[in-house]
Amino acid sequence: MSVNITNRIAKPANREAILQIDRLNLQIEWPILQIEGEILQMEQSNTADAAGLIENNTFKKID
Q: What is the pLDDT of residue 46?
A: 80
Q: Are 34 and 40 in contact (CB under 8 A)?
A: no
What one-letter code names the amino acid at 37? G
Q: What is the pLDDT of residue 59?
A: 58
Q: Give 44-60 pLDDT, tens digit per residue.
A: 888 877 777 777 765 56
Asked if pLDDT for residue 28 goes beyond 60, the answer is yes
The DSSP-derived string for 4-39 is -HHHHHH-HHHHHHHHHHHHHHHHHHHHHHHHHHHH
